[in-house]
Structure 1
Amino acid sequence: MSPITVVEGRRLSLTRLDKVLYPETGTTKGEVLHYVTTTAGALLAHLHDRPVSFLRYPDGPDGERFFTKNVPPGTPAWVKTCEVPSRSAQSRRQVLLQDLASLVWAANLVVELHAPQWTRDTPGTADRLVLDLDPGAPATLVECCAVARWLRERLAADGLYACAKTSGSKGLHLLAPIEPAPSDTTTAYAHALAVEAAAAFPDLVTARMRKDLRPGKVFLDYSQNAAAKTTACAYTLRARATPTVSTPVTWDEVATCTDPAQLTFLFDEIAGRRARHGDLFAPLLNPNRAHPLPRTA
C-alpha cells in the first residue's frame, strides 16, 4: 500500500519510493522527492504563476518519456490550474505549481518541469528573454561558455542583465529579466542576436535550425521565446542517464570552464551550491533588474 503523506494539510499518496529511477547512480524515487522538497523554495519562486509543462519519465530516463501541457488525469482538485490560449480554437488548462504540496504531487509523477517566458495573467507577453546554447558534437559545453561570455557583454550593451544556468543536458541557458514585451518582439530580438553572433563567430555559432549545419558549432536557439515554447526551469531534474539538474552558475564558472564536467551538477550537489551562492537566478525575480528591449529589435 502506498504511504500517505500530509504536506501543508494535503494528503498525498507517494508511490514506489524505493524504485530506482537512475540506474547509473542508484538514485531512487524517494531521493528525487527529497531533493524536490528541499529545493522547493527556489523551484516554486521560478515557477510562480507560470503554466507548467511536464516531461514525464515514470520508469526513469531509459523508459518511456512523454511531454504534456494539459492537466494530467487524476490531478487533485486542490492543485491550481489556469486556462491557456492555444493555436487551436479551444484553449487548454495547465497546472500551476504554487505551493509545496502541488510540487510534491508533481514530483511523484516523475517529471522535468518546463515553463514559458510569460505568466498566467499575461499570456504571450514575456517578462524574460531566453537564449538556449546547444552544442553540436564535437562542440561541447566549453564552446557554449565561450559564446555565452560574448552574449553577456552584448546583452549588457543593451542594458540587459544576463543570468546563466546549465541546461542539465549538453548546453547552457542565458536568461535576462525584461520589461513586459510581446513574445514576437522578444523572439525577433533573440533572433537578431543569434544572427549577429553567427556573423561574429562563423566557425563557432549557427543561428539556423538545420541539423546538418550544427556539427562542431553552437546552435543559438532563439525560438524558445515564442509564446508556445517552454524552457526547462532552474533547478529541475532532467531525464538523463544521471540525475543532473539545470543549475544556475556564476560567470566566473562560465569564464573558467575547460571541461564539461566542471559544469555538470547532480541533484545532491545543489544544496551545497545554494548555501555558498544563494539563488543565482534571483535577479530574474527582481523587477528592478528588468530592462526594456531596444526599440530597434
Structure 2
Amino acid sequence: MPVVEVEGRRLTLTNLEKVIYPDGTTKGEIVHYYAVNADVLLPHLAGRPLSLLRYPDGPDGERFFTKHVPQGTPDWVTVGEFGRAEGGTMWQVMIEDVASLVWAANLVAELHVPQWTAAAPGTADRLVFDLDPGEPATVVECCRVALWLRERLAADGLTAYAKTSGAKGLHLLCPLRPVDSSARASAYAAELAGEASAALRGLAIAAMAKRLRPGKVFIDHSQNAARKTTAAPYTLRARAEPAVSTPVAWEEVEGCASPDQLVFTLRDIPARVRAAGDLMAPLADPAAARPLPPG
C-alpha cells in the first residue's frame, strides 16, 4: 500500500488500481481528481460537518451512508460534536485541508454537507432547491424550472447559482446572511416551491408523492432542514459513470436542449475550472450573501 505525504501529513492509500466505475475509472483516478481540484472543492466543505455516501465497490456494489467519524480516521482530521435531530450528539469529520480531502477520497464516497457551518449549527447560510425530474422529464425541464426560480429569487434580492446534481437533475443554491434558524429558511423555500408549482402547472410540482412526479420536475425544498444534507459542489456521485455535481453558468442552463449537454465527469472538470474558475465561488463568500426576506 503506497504511503504519500500531503502537506506534511502521511497517508496510506489503498487499492488504487481497483476499478470503481464501469467505464474503467480507478480508485487512483478518483483520488487524483480530488487532489488536483482541491482549490475549488475545499471552500464548499470547510467548516461544515461531512456526511459520506460510501460506495467502495462501485455504484453497483454496496452503498452505505454515514455521518459518524469513520473507523481509522487519522487524529489530524478535524472532528466536531453536533446535535442529532432525535436528540443527543455525535462526532463528525470536517474537511479543512488537502490532506483531509485526499483521506476522504480514499474512502470512495459522495461528499454531502448541510446548509450551515460548525460555527453556528442550525443557522442557515445557504438556501437550496433540488430539482428532480420524473421520467420522461429530464434535466432540460429542470432548466426551465430553474430559470423561473432564478427570477423569483432575484425579486427577493437573492442570487441563485446552479450546478448539476451529478445524477438527473439540477441544484440551485443561494448564499444567505445567517438566518436565525433553518426552519425559517425551510419555510421560505417551501413557499417558493409552492409558487413555482402553481405558476408552472403541468411542469413542476412541490408535493412529495412519487405518483405525481412522472413527466414533471419535483422541487425538493426539504434539504434546507437542519438535519438534511446536499451533495457538495464538485463531489463525484455513485452513478453508472463518474459524474460530478458540477457548477454551471446560467447561459448553459438557458441553452440546454438535450440532457447530455449537462453531464460532466471527473475528466471534464479541470478544463472547466481553468476556463471559468469556480462558478459557485460566491456561495462560499460572505460578501455575496444576502438576507432572507422577512417572513
Same fold? TM cut 0.5: yes
CA distance in 2, matches of 1:221, 1:278: 28
Q: Secondary structure at the match of 1:179?
A: coil
For residue 227 of structure 1, what is the aligned residue in structure 2? 226
For residue 266 of structure 1, what is the aligned residue in structure 2? 265
Shift of 1:89: 3.4
Q: Secondary structure at the match of 2:124?
A: strand
For residue 55 of structure 2, what is the aligned residue in structure 1? 57
**Within the alignment, does 1:149 sit opposite 2:156 as a pair?**
no
Q: Deviations over 1:201-224 (max 9, x none)?
A: 110011010100110000000000
CA distance in 1, matches of 2:133, 2:79: 35
Shift of 1:88: 3.2
Structure 1 window deviating more from structure 2 (276-285 vs 218-227): it is: 276-285
CA distance in 2, matches of 1:35, 1:76: 21
For residue 216 of structure 1, what is the aligned residue in structure 2? 215
Identity of aligned residues (%): 63
For residue 168 of structure 2, what is the aligned residue in structure 1? 170
Quick one: which of 132, 135, 141 aligns to 1:134?
132
Partner amino acid for 1:17?
Answer: L
CA distance in 1, matches of 2:112, 2:96: 14
For residue 105 of structure 2, what is the aligned residue in structure 1? 107
For residue 253 of structure 2, what is the aligned residue in structure 1? 254
Task: Please give the residue correspondences for 1:1-297 in structure 2 after superposition, counting only pairs within 5 Å.
Answer: 2-23=1-22, 25-181=23-179, 182-296=181-295
Q: Secondary structure at the match of 1:54?
A: strand
Q: Deviations over 1:164-207 (max 9, x none)?
A: 00000000000001111110001000000000000001100110
CA distance in 2, matches of 1:248, 1:187: 23
CA distance in 1, matches of 2:197, 2:85: 31
Partner amino acid for 2:163?
Answer: K
Shift of 1:87: 2.4
CA distance in 2, matches of 1:16, 1:285: 33
Q: Secondary structure at the match of 1:21?
A: coil
Partner amino acid for 1:69?
Answer: K
4+ residue runs over 2 A deviation:
none
Q: Secondary structure at the match of 1:20?
A: coil
Shift of 1:288: 2.2
Q: Secondary structure at the match of 1:174?
A: strand
CA distance in 1, matches of 2:73, 2:106: 12
Partner amino acid for 1:26?
Answer: G
Partner amino acid for 2:228?
Answer: K
Q: Deviations over 1:224-259 (max 9, x none)?
A: 000000000000000000000000000000000010
Partner amino acid for 2:161?
Answer: C
Partner amino acid for 1:38?
Answer: V
Shift of 1:77: 1.0
CA distance in 2, matches of 1:74, 1:90: 23
Shift of 1:78: 1.0
Shift of 1:68: 0.3
Shift of 1:293: 1.0
TM-score (norm 2): 0.98
CA distance in 2, matches of 1:134, 1:187: 18
CA distance in 2, matches of 1:292, 1:32: 37
Partner amino acid for 2:95?
Answer: L
Q: Secondary structure at the match of 2:207?
A: coil
Aligned residues: 294
Structure 1 window deviating more from structure 2 (7-16 vs 162-171): it is: 7-16
CA distance in 1, matches of 2:86, 2:261: 44
State the Cα RMSD in Å: 0.7
